[in-house]
A = this chain, B = another copy of it.
Amino acid sequence: MSGAITCSAADLATLLGPNATAAADYICGQLGTVNNKFTDAAFAIDNTYLLFSAYLVFAMQLGFAMLCAGSVRAKNTMNIMLTNVLDAAAGGLFYYLFGYAFAFGGSSEGFIGRHNFALRDFPTPTADYSFFLYQWAFAIAAAGITSGSIAERTQFVAYLIYSSFLTGFVYPVVSHWFWSPDGWASPFRSADDRLFSTGAIDFAGSGVVHMVGGIAGLWGALIEGPRRGRFEKGGRAIALRGHSASLVVLGTFLLWFGWYGFNPGSFTKILVPYNSGSNYGQWSGIGRTAVNTTLSGCTAALTTLFGKRLLSGHWNVTDVCNGLLGGFAAITAGCSVVEPWAAIVCGFMASVVLIGCNKLAELVQYDDPLEAAQLHGGCGAWGLIFVGLFAKEKYLNEVYGATPGRPYGLFMGGGGKLLGAQLVQILVIVGWVSATMGTLFFILKRLNLLRISEQHEMQGMDMTRHGGFAYIYHDNDDESHRVDPGSPFPRSATPPRV
């Protein structure tokens, strides 16, 4: 709380004249109480802000679950929703036991954190339970992205393994590099000790969350191969459309709603005056971040609407939803350090990147039911580059601490150092996730734990592994679904006429 009241009884006593020490003590004592009450109020305000931001980020997990469910075929609805519930549930325990410690365990070295396992010695002077909850909600988002890429054909056991590894280790280590004050590429290191004098600027995780989730998904989908029926012999793509556009739109809007906790919430504090007593403070930066997030998503949605109309001949709501989310994934890195007009540029290009990546994916017969690698990996990488081009010096200094001569956006006259740091972040994330998650998926494949059998893929995992079809619109459908307690399979394996 900058601008603390520093009433010095000694100083005041001399000013008040002879034998005024007691008066000075009295006055300063009162002002000391005032100072403490400001400290209390600040903790209450900032914790209210961070807790409700965390709840919004958690709502994104519901958004993911609905988006994923709507984007897969009806016969795999239970399967993918179960992965979303367990991302949150298993992520809760793993992040509590060691994920948070690896990411933010205080006073550690550049690679990995080593304190606060299972929240021992917590809260600390710089982090309270609200910060842990906020970071847990972020961690489970990364795992949610990956399950989208390998949906409809992955064994449940493989899911349990890769999700725990991603949420408990791979993701926390990356967040330590870029978000912990000790991280080797962090912008929060002391000014003279930062990568290219700036550190990588990834405010809310275009790289740390979206690229990590997207690249992990890329490897999983590449190693598993496409869903059966996705590409014809000659290579022509067949759209295996999701079973419910309503769930896709519901999920997209919930992600949009949660993104207002994801980006503006990443300030973690709102009561930070830039010039005490003036109307311009961190609250303005937070509002601007919410506006930038909105403008980038809106622009990407409109660009995708008209772009895909040209390419496919119709106005497609699920394409527009993906365009919208691509715009959000891209602006997430620079949302707090750019002007609103630049956020529009960011959204426009994010849509171009997404359409391009999807075209490329069809060319190389890469199948990703949620376009997760293209959207989160492609638009996430563009979002990091965008910061290197458009970040504004004034906002960087407000958000990351005033640093004379700090590098900023290339197109804004800030030189190329920041862009360099952003490119390093992209390469390092691709490398780390490929080495860790790529290897894991490869091992799972070799142990025959990765892909389900062809028969199960055709029947759908809900019938064969999750207790029955997700939808039963008629009592007699239920007959075919009657699961005799103890037997793994429903009486009839054919999905009901719904």
Contacts and interface: CB of A to CB of B under 8 A. Distances in A.
Interface stretch (A189-197, A396-404, A427-435, A480-488): A480-488
Contact of A314 (B35, B66, B465): B465
Contacts of A243: 471-473
A40 B273 contact: yes
A271 to B, nearest CB: 4
A13 to B, nearest CB: 9
B45 A45 contact: yes
A249 interface: yes
Given A5-B34, A118-B340, A341-B118, A270 B473 contact: no
A305 B86 contact: yes
Interface stretch (A23-31, A199-207, A209-217): A23-31
Contact of A92 (B23, B118, B131, B294): B294
A448 interface: no
Interface string A43-60: 111111101101110110
Contacts of A498: 473-474, 498
The count of identical subunits is 3
A284 B284 CA distance: 26
- Kindly list the 7 A-B residue pairs having the minimum CB-CB distance in the complex, ordered from nearest: A129-B287, A92-B298, A36-B277, A313-B488, A47-B283, A62-B253, A44-B271
A331 interface: no
A1 B40 CA distance: 10
A266 interface: no
A482 to B, nearest CB: 6
Nearest to A343: B96
Interface in A1-36: 1, 3-5, 7, 11-12, 15-17, 19-20, 22-23, 26-27, 30-31, 33-36
Interface stretch (A177-185, A254-262, A374-382, A386-394): A254-262
A406 interface: no
A467 B316 contact: yes
Contacts of A1: 37
A297 B3 CA distance: 42
A455 interface: no
A322 B253 CA distance: 22
Q: How large is the interface on A (under 10, 10 to 19, 20 to 34, 35 or more residues)?
A: 35 or more
B45 A48 contact: yes
Given A44-B45, A478-B240, A264 B51 contact: yes
A88 interface: yes
Interface stretch (A75-83, A107-115, A412-420): A75-83
A257 B59 contact: yes
Contacts of A445: none
Contacts of A62: 250, 253-254, 256-257
Interface in A55-95: 55-56, 58-59, 61-62, 65-66, 69, 73-75, 77-78, 81-82, 84-86, 88-93
A136 to B, nearest CB: 7
A249 B85 contact: yes
A446 interface: no
Nearest to A308: B467
Interface in A229-274: 229, 236-247, 249-250, 252-254, 256-257, 260, 264, 270-271, 273
A492 interface: no
Contacts of A458: 475
A5 B23 contact: no
Contacts of A22: 15
A284 B81 contact: no
Interface centre among A77, A284, A473, by most B CB within 10 Å? A473
Contacts of A15: 20, 22-23, 26
Interface centre among A123, A278, A471, by most B CB within 10 Å? A471
A301 B386 CA distance: 40
Given A284-B128, A315-B82, A466-B314, A133 B294 contact: yes
Contacts of A244: 246, 470-472
A17 to B, nearest CB: 7
A443 interface: no
Given A39-B277, A44-B282, 19 more contacts: A12-B26, A37-B38, A41-B41, A44-B281, A47-B270, A47-B283, A47-B287, A69-B249, A85-B249, A89-B305, A96-B291, A118-B340, A118-B341, A128-B279, A128-B283, A236-B485, A314-B467, A315-B465, A362-B485
A495 B498 CA distance: 12
A11 B26 contact: yes
Contacts of A40: 3, 271, 273, 276-277, 281
A152 to B, nearest CB: 11
A373 interface: no
